[in-house]
Amino acid sequence: MKKLDRLILRSFLGPLVLTFAVAIFVLLMQFLWKYIDDLVGKGLDFSIIAELMLYASATFVPMALPIAILFASIMTMGNFGERYELVAMKAGGVSIGRVMAPMAVVVLMLTGVAFYFANNVMPTAMLRYRMTLYDVTRKKPAVNIRPGEYYKDIDGYVIRVGSKDNNTGALNDIVVYDHSNGIDETTVTVAASGFMRSSPDNNYLFFTLHNGYTYSESNTGEDFNKRPLTSIQFDEQTITFDISSFAFNRSAEDLFSGSYQMMNIAQLDTTVRRLEEQYATHRTNTCNEIKGSLHAWMFYIADSVPRPAELSISPEQETRRGALVHNMASSTQKDIKLGIDKLHADREYISRHHVVWQRKYTMSLACLLLFLVGAPFGSIVRKGGLGLPLVASVLFFVLYYVVDMIDEKSVRSGVVGPEGMWVSSLVLLPIGLLLTVQATSDSSLLDPSTWRRMFRALLARLQGR
């Protein structure tokens, strides 16, 4: 490897790694901000939170890698142009294509890595991420009964304590409302003091109460007249609460493994073929059902038309026949609409599989296309640092991302076929080719002075006329 290649790679790999890490960090912060209410106050171990963040970070790689390549390529070539290193390379007989070659080799390798990641690592990471997130959001907050507040997180119970000793765990002025048998059968337990403790497996919470009484009141049912109020005093009583739902339980993989986002290309091909066969069968059955409903309705109309011997019918019979015909038509219309909606839903579900299948290729190819846009753009503008490269990379990536979202919605709704996912790539390709041609021909297309000269010449010509 020549010294020039090492210089270019050092200048390119540094911003690439840094931008990739920053992009992952920003997306991860967005994820934490979205699910902060589901993570805080539940007594989760740090290992569980770290595991969730690791899987979430893995799902952000397909989005973070292309923007990192775009920013790094613009910044690298812009720095070369701003420090006149690009001019020195050209003076030494090194073309723009030769300067971009070492970076292009790295980008080609990253494109292959991105495809392998999207096809093999991404499904597993998405499966683990969805499982862990589901388990975390399903877990209830840790039992934290505060003095003077009504605690309602235990199903069927409301607890209030007057005071609490944080050192010994002793409780005073305790009131427990038991609604486990229904809101109409309430049992209230009042105690002067007590303490609480958990079982070794943390599935049960024991309340040991002292010097209190329990009364139950029935508002409805047979017990309302026989014993509307029952009161029992006690010196010591233990109430057991089931808090197994507060524990962190891991779900089985079968709960999420059937989703299209957790499949590789081979699995998606098999699933799509099976769904297409089911869709064809369902479409045939639906068409037959619609035809049968229409024929039944037509025969019913024909039977409802009075024959010559029955011309003398009463107005009541005519009204009743008209109402029956209208009800039959409405029922047939609803059946047809229900069948069509079901077919549309099945087609959209199949289209979602096509979207995921195509995106494994388009997001990988986006790394190469964005490099094809970024490197020539940086060599033309000749501005390095963080300002212009950051703004330009954000604008180019937003353009790609918006078009990609439009493509996805169009494919899902059936407006275009699965090939519509490549429109975003076709938008970037001519831009990249145009910038590459301009860069290799030393064009001043993006030079502000060039535009000022063109504007002044146009203004002078207009004034002369």
The overall average pLDDT reported for the chain is 80
- Chain-centre distance of CA 376, in angstroms? 34
Cα–chain center distance at 21: 21
Q: What is the dihedral of CA 79, 85, 87, 90, to 10 degrees?
A: -120
Between 127 and 328, the more confident residue is 127
Q: Which of 134-148, 309-323, 341-355, 418-432 has the lowest mean pLDDT?
A: 309-323
Domain end among 356, 381, 413: 356
Quote the number of domains for the chain.
3
Per-residue pLDDT at 308: 47
What's the confidence (pLDDT) of residue 220? Answer: 56
Q: Within this chain, do residues 294 and 194 fall inside the same structural domain, yes or no?
A: no
Out of 23-32, 53-62, 148-157, pick the least confident: 148-157
Assess whether 331 and 380 both reside in one domain.
no
Take residue 360 and report the two structure tokens written for it: 């494994």
Judged against a pLDDT cut of 80, whether residue 371 lies above it is answered with yes
Looking at the structure, tell me whether residues 9 and 103 fall in a common domain. Answer: yes
395 and 325 in a common domain: no
**Position 144 in a domain:** no
191 in Cβ contact with 209 (< 8 Å): yes
Q: Does any domain span residue 347?
A: yes
The domain of 154 spans: 150-246
pLDDT at 62: 87
Backbone conformation region of residue 348, classed left if phi is above 0, alpha if psi is from -120 to 50, else beta: alpha
| pLDDT higher than threshold 90 for residue 109 | yes
Same domain for 210 and 86: no
Q: Residue 145 falls within a domain, yes or no?
A: no
Residue 218, token pair as written in the block: 């029935």
Q: What is the pLDDT of residue 146?
A: 78
Residues 7 and 115 occupy one common structural domain: yes
- The pLDDT value recorded for residue 8 is 87
Same domain, yes or no: 363 and 282:
no
**Is residue 174 over pLDDT 50?**
yes
C-alpha distance from residue 106 to each of 9, 28, 111, 371 (Å): 9, 26, 9, 10
Q: Is residue 256 part of a domain?
A: no
Instruction: Pick 287 or 103 by higher pLDDT.
Output: 103
pLDDT tens digit sequence for 266-322: 888 888 888 888 888 888 887 787 777 667 666 655 555 554 444 455 666 667 666
Question: How does residue 110 score in pLDDT terms, banded at 50, 70 and 90?
Answer: very high
Amino acid at 7: L
User: Cα separations (Å) of 24 from 53, 136, 301, 359, 396?
Assistant: 11, 21, 66, 19, 18
In a domain, 251, yes or no: no
398 pLDDT tier (thresholds 50, 70, 90): confident
Do residues 436 and 448 both lie within one domain?
yes
- How many CB atoms within 10 Å of residue 277? 10
Q: What pLDDT does 441 receive?
A: 73
Q: What is the mean pLDDT of residues 336-362?
A: 86
CA distance 410 to 393: 26
* pLDDT at residue 324, rounded to an integer: 67
Q: Which pLDDT value is given to residue 408?
A: 87
Number of C-beta neighbours around residue 410 at 10 A: 16
What one-character DSSP code corresponds to residue 255? Answer: G
Query: How many angstroms from the chain centroid is the CA of residue 171?
Result: 44
How much is the pLDDT for 298? 65
Give me Rg for the CA atoms of the chain: 35
Domain stops at, among 246, 279, 312: 246
Res 90 pLDDT > 70:
yes
**DSSP secondary structure, 336-395, as one string:** HHHHHHHHHHHHHHHHHHHHHHHHHHHHHHHHHHHHHHHHHHHHHH---SSHHHHHHHHH
User: For residue 297, what pLDDT is reported?
Assistant: 62
pLDDT tens for each residue of 31-76? 888 877 777 766 677 888 888 888 888 888 888 999 999 888 888 8
- Same domain for 381 and 352? no
More confident residue, 1 or 73: 73
Identify whether residues 363 and 454 lie together within a single domain.
Answer: yes
Weakest mean pLDDT among 157-161, 253-257, 391-395: 253-257
Kindly tell me if the per-residue pLDDT of 364 is higher than 60: yes
Does residue 98 have a pLDDT over 90?
A: no
158 lies in the same domain as 241:
yes
Pick from 260, 425, 280: nearest CA to 355: 260
Q: Which residue has the higher pLDDT, 389 or 362?
A: 362
Looking at the structure, do residues 56 and 96 belong to the same domain, yes or no?
yes
Q: Which of residues 307 and 153 earns the better pLDDT score?
A: 153
How large a percentage of the chain has pLDDT more than 90? 6
- Would you say residue 346 lies in a domain? yes
Of 356, 372, 402, which residue is a domain's last? 356
Reported confidence tier of residue 258, pLDDT bands at 50, 70, 90: confident
Per the domain annotation, does 233 fall within a domain?
yes
Residue 227: what pLDDT? 54
**Is 311 contained in some domain?**
yes
